[in-house]
Amino acid sequence: MTRLRPPPAPLPLPRPAQVRALLAVLDEAVTAQQRADVAVASCGEPGPVCGQVARDCCDASSAFLHLRARLRKLPLTDPDLVQARAYAGRLLDYVQWMVHQSVNLAFTVHPDARTEAARLQLNGLGRPADDLRRLRDTLKAEE
C-alpha cells in the first residue's frame, strides 16, 4: 500500500500581493461602512423609523458578514499584515454589532422611555469607522 503525500503547501504570496489583497477587502469595507453609517444614524432619527431603514441595516449587516469571511480567508503570512487583518476583523465585528443593536433599538417590540432615549443617541458608527478608514489609508500609503 502506498501512502499518498499531501500536496506541498503553496508558496506564500509576496508582501505586495498580500497588501493588495487586504486592501481590496478594506476598500470594500470602507465603502459598505459609509452606507451602514447612514443606516445607523437613520435609526436614531426622531419619530417613527421607516421600514427601508431596516432593509438598509439588513443589507449592511449581510455585507459585513461576507467581508469578515473574505478577510479570514486572506492568505496573509507577514506578521504585521496578520495583525492588521485581526484588527480589521474586530472593527468589522463592531460595525456589524452596532448595526444589529441599532435595528433592535429602532424596531423594538416593547418600546419604553429608556429604549427611546438610547435610540435617539444613535448618530452613526463613530470612532471604529474612523479607525477602519485609517487602517486602510495606512496600508494604501505602504502600497
Over residues 48-61, the pLDDT tens digits come to 999 999 999 999 99
The span from the CA of 131 to the CA of 91, in Å, is 8
Residue 74 has, within 13 A of its CA and on its CB side, a CA count of 29
Please indicate, yes or no, if residue 53 is contained in any of the structural domains. Answer: yes
Please indicate, yes or no, if residue 6 is contained in any of the structural domains. Answer: no
| Percentage with pLDDT > 90 across the chain | 87
**pLDDT, position 8:** 62
Please indicate, yes or no, if residue 64 is contained in any of the structural domains. Answer: yes
Please indicate, yes or no, if residue 4 is contained in any of the structural domains. Answer: no
Domain containing 42 equals 15-142
Q: Residue 1 pLDDT more than 80?
A: no
Question: Mean pLDDT throughout 79-100?
Answer: 96
pTM (2 decimals)? 0.87
Please indicate, yes or no, if residue 5 is contained in any of the structural domains. Answer: no
**pLDDT, position 65:** 96
**pLDDT, position 2:** 66
Cell 506541498: give the residue.
8
14: its cell numbers: 509576496
**pLDDT, position 11:** 66
Question: Mean pLDDT throughout 50-73?
Answer: 96
Instruction: Report yes or no: 118 and 107 within 8 Å, Cβ to Cβ.
Output: no
Please indicate, yes or no, if residue 128 is contained in any of the structural domains. Answer: yes
The span from the CA of 50 to the CA of 43, in Å, is 9
Intra-chain end-to-end CA distance of the chain, in Å: 50
Question: Mean pLDDT throughout 6-35?
Answer: 88
Please indicate, yes or no, if residue 24 is contained in any of the structural domains. Answer: yes
Please indicate, yes or no, if residue 9 is contained in any of the structural domains. Answer: no
Mean pLDDT of the chain: 93
Measured CA distances, 68 to 56, 58, 71, 84, 91 (Å): 18, 15, 5, 13, 10
Number of domains in the chain: 1
